[in-house]
Structure 1
Amino acid sequence: MKRKVATSMQARKASLIVQNTQMPRWFYAFVPFKIATGGSSQVIPLYAIHLGAGAGEVGLLNALSTLASTIGTIFWGKLSDKTLRRKVFILMGLLSTSVFLSLLAFAESFWDLLLINAVYSFFLASTVSIPIVLLFRNVRKTRWDEAVGKFNKIGGWAWVLGLLIGFMLVRLLSFKELFLLFAVVNIPGFVMALKTIREAPVYLHRNNIKPFVTQVVQKGRYLPNFIIHLPTKLKVSPKLSGFYLSSLFFWVSSGMYSTQLPVFLIKNGVTSQEVFGFAILNSSISAMLYQRVGTKLKSKNPALALTQGYFFRSLGILLLLLPFNVPYALLISAAGSYVLWGYSWSYISVSSTSLIGRMSSPKEQGSALATANLVNSAGFVLGSLAGGFVASQIDSFLNFAIASSLSLLAVVPIISLMGLSFVSPFSALPQIRRKN
């Protein structure tokens, strides 16, 4: 009898161990969703250009989308915390994707597209931070790093798959048909989430959630990064002021560069399919490097890695300023720019999160991340508007020159964080003391 009890207890314990080692099944509900949002992320600006939008209008499209995403993330995050419900908001965000992608297909003018896309971004924001909070409830705290990395890795490669589908079909289908296709592709994700997500109505204080160095984040829908921490009380710590200034320079640069790049390429004869191909190259490189960079940072100063990312981003933008007299020169420069964009982003996204985690105490991390997210979003909105104005009113080359300079300028405020000391040659000379 004792043997039977011991055997049954052992079997039960083994089954619990297996359950704890498995990641939640609802992770895979986000695969169709990320395929749909990844593929449509390139269709939206391309369709705007098709509708007659210029550099200024595309800049406004990106700026308004980022602003709506940021406001939506704050609104839905606070509402989910107040109601202690996560599933309903995640399902709403997944369902809204199919609804608004269908509506985008019927946009007859740029202004229709602008308005629908802004409302879409607001509702889509419910899928940004709330799934991460639900993840913390479904996974043991000791495995949070692994779970966040796994969840975002699944989504990151699904995002690339969506871009690949768009790349293959953009010549066969119209932009409207692509919107409808991705709206349908997203539906199985909603059904899967409805069946697999289990509500966990337990409040998790976001300020106690530390930054995750091993996270894998795709560059989704113009939002600078996924936001876990909500900006409730913002405090600019003096030790992080240089980092915030550096981030502001970088995100203004990123807004001027990334939002105007498709417009610049299309105007210079690059096809929509080639733009999709460049986006695949960019996202694939980032996805492959995220966790490798996170591993490197365990023994490396994150400020040095951040500087490396800024430098290569500046170099990638500079490639667009090369003369295009040689055949295929623009395609080669654009490919190089997208490659360095993906390479630099893996260093910037991971090292900036690591830097905040190392420079702030556990009690300060929530406030520090909230401030960083607002700075990033504000910088991107400002850069999108500025890039649209400069490119439309003056010149695209000047826009990229300013963007490259700002990315390089972002290094200056964080020089003190690199652990480098500049010793004057005169400090080694013997000093003569005065006699009083």
Structure 2
Amino acid sequence: MDREDRWLVAWGVGYAAVGGASVLVPLYAIALGATPAFVGLVAATAALVGVPGALLWGRLAARTKRRRPFVLVALAATAGTLALVPLTASPAVVLLLNALLWFAISAASPVLNLIVVEGAPVAEWDDRIARLNAWQGYGWLGGLVLGTVWTALAPRAGFGPLAGQRLLFGLLAVTAGAGLALARLWYPERPHTDPERFRRVFRRLEPRGWGAGRVLRASVYGPTRTYWSLVSLRAGNPFARLPSGLRRYLLAVGAFSVGFAVFWGPVPSLLRADLTEEAVFGVYVAGNLVSAVCYAPAGRLVRRVTPRRLQGVALAARGLLLPLVALAGSLAAAALLPAYAVAFGLIGATWAVIAVTTTGLVTRLADDATRGEAFGLQAAIGGLAGGVGNALGGAVADAAGYLAAFSLAAAFVFLGVGLVAASR
């Protein structure tokens, strides 16, 4: 790794705290008495606050022409927020602190993209942004592994459930603090890439190859794409300027994105009702690990199979899997963890295929004049769908049970399958 790229390690360390908190926060809210509906609301607010955070901080970074303060503040806010969460016994305060955490992390995304391309030729920007996403992915997975190990060891050390969770928050806060210290030490020299130039070039970047690195860069569901995609939208009605097939496809993206969120919103409550805390973390590790491993094979597969057909198969498989997760609770206790791990691993594999093919289809259905706006609308649709779907899934699970919620999720996914087929 080049000397000027060492800061990516620092950000990856800080992002490990975010990955661990992504599961720990809902588990802590559940331990404090939160219902599935409230847990879905926690996820919904986290999804919604990221977009205004990125837009606000992106504009401030462009005006001030500063980068360092925004990255350091994001890591400091992560450490401080995670240190504050265990001091409260109110689920409502946990929700607010989690929203603050995701506001800070998502707000840093446009600044991170600028930093990662500093001094690099335009031809290398694609791969350098992919490297940023890869380090974030490694950090996220590392945080989940840390949570799995800690929650398994804490009871043996004599800590009760709440005490163990609060200590883990402290450990994650220290991890974010370590990332902050490393970022201060390894941050690159004063930037010289103009935000407007980056925005213009970013609109022209296309996933020319389908290796795992490019897929990580291309996924518009991650916060690193949100800001630069949304600022590409022009005045008027950008949706009306898109080709008709692309408009139909973006409706499909909205439908299956809502379905995904309806599922993920109440999932922590379901898993915690059936599994120990360390097992819950382990299930998330299984899903994320399989997804990461499958990115490269999915990229190779899309060269041989029509992206629309491949995505339809992946969506249909995921649609069938979601209700089955709700039925796993009826299995014998010894079979619960393996069943959930296998199910979430398969769901993770379908996500790798969907992430690859979604970006590929938008790229192919758009023309040169509208491609940037298409990615912007896709980012906006994904963020809005995440907020609405998480809240809806939690509310339905609370009122009618997990099978009803996950069946509703599957219905949205299959609606997306039909709209994908209609987008020809």
| TM-score > 0.5, shorter chain as reference | yes
Q: Assess if the C-alpha contact under 8 Å between 2:37 and 2:394 holds in 1.
A: yes
Residue number in structure 2 paired with 1:74:
55
Q: Assess if the C-alpha contact under 8 Å between 2:54 and 2:106 holds in 1.
A: yes
Amino acid of the structure 1 residue aligned with 2:377? T
1:178 partnered with 2:183: no
TM-score (norm 2): 0.86
1:14-413 superposed matches below 5 A: 24-171=5-152, 172=154, 174-195=164-185, 196-201=187-192, 202-203=194-195, 204-209=197-202, 210-212=205-207, 214-216=214-216, 226-227=225-226, 228-231=228-231, 232-233=233-234, 235-236=238-239, 237=242, 238-267=244-273, 269-322=274-327, 324-413=330-419
Which moved further from structure 2: 177-186 or 149-158?
149-158
Distance 1:315 1:117, change over 3 A: same
Q: Assess if the C-alpha contact under 8 Å between 2:258 and 2:412 holds in 1.
A: yes
Query: Per-residue CA shift, 1:274-300, capped at 9, x if unaligned?
Result: 110011111111111223323433454
Query: Per-residue CA shift, 1:50-109, capped at 9, x if unaligned?
Result: 010011111111111111112111211222233333332122211211111111121221
Which secondary structure does the structure 1 equivalent of 2:238 belong to?
Answer: coil
Amino acid of the structure 2 residue aligned with 1:384? N
Amino acid of the structure 1 residue aligned with 2:251? L
Q: Separation in 2 of the partners of 1:325 and 1:361?
A: 50
Q: Separation in 1 of the partners of 2:42 and 2:99?
A: 8
Q: Separation in 1 of the partners of 2:287 and 2:188?
A: 32
Shift of 1:306: 2.3
Q: Separation in 2 of the partners of 1:83 and 1:309?
A: 44
Distance 1:43 1:217, change over 3 A: farther
Distance 1:186 1:152, change over 3 A: same
Q: Assess if the C-alpha contact under 8 Å between 1:216 and 1:287 holds in 2.
A: no
Unaligned ranges ≥5, structure 2: none
Q: Assess if the C-alpha contact under 8 Å between 2:396 and 2:405 holds in 1.
A: yes
Identity of paired residues, percent? Answer: 25
Q: Separation in 2 of the partners of 1:367 and 1:120?
A: 28
Which secondary structure does the structure 2 equivalent of 1:200 belong to?
Answer: coil
Distance 1:375 1:365, change over 3 A: same
Q: Separation in 1 of the partners of 2:44 and 2:167?
A: 26
Amino acid of the structure 1 residue aligned with 2:364? R
Which secondary structure does the structure 2 equivalent of 1:322 belong to?
Answer: helix
Structure possessing the higher radius of gyration over alpha carbons: 1
Distance 1:97 1:150, change over 3 A: same
Amino acid of the structure 1 residue aligned with 2:308? A
Distance 1:166 1:67, change over 3 A: same
Q: Separation in 1 of the partners of 2:103 and 2:326?
A: 35
Which secondary structure does the structure 1 equivalent of 2:269 belong to?
Answer: helix
The number of residue pairs the alignment matches comes to 397
Q: Assess if the C-alpha contact under 8 Å between 1:225 and 1:373 holds in 2.
A: no
Distance 1:29 1:321, change over 3 A: closer
RMSD: 2.5
TM-score (norm 1): 0.84
Amino acid of the structure 2 residue aligned with 1:404? A
Distance 1:319 1:336, change over 3 A: farther
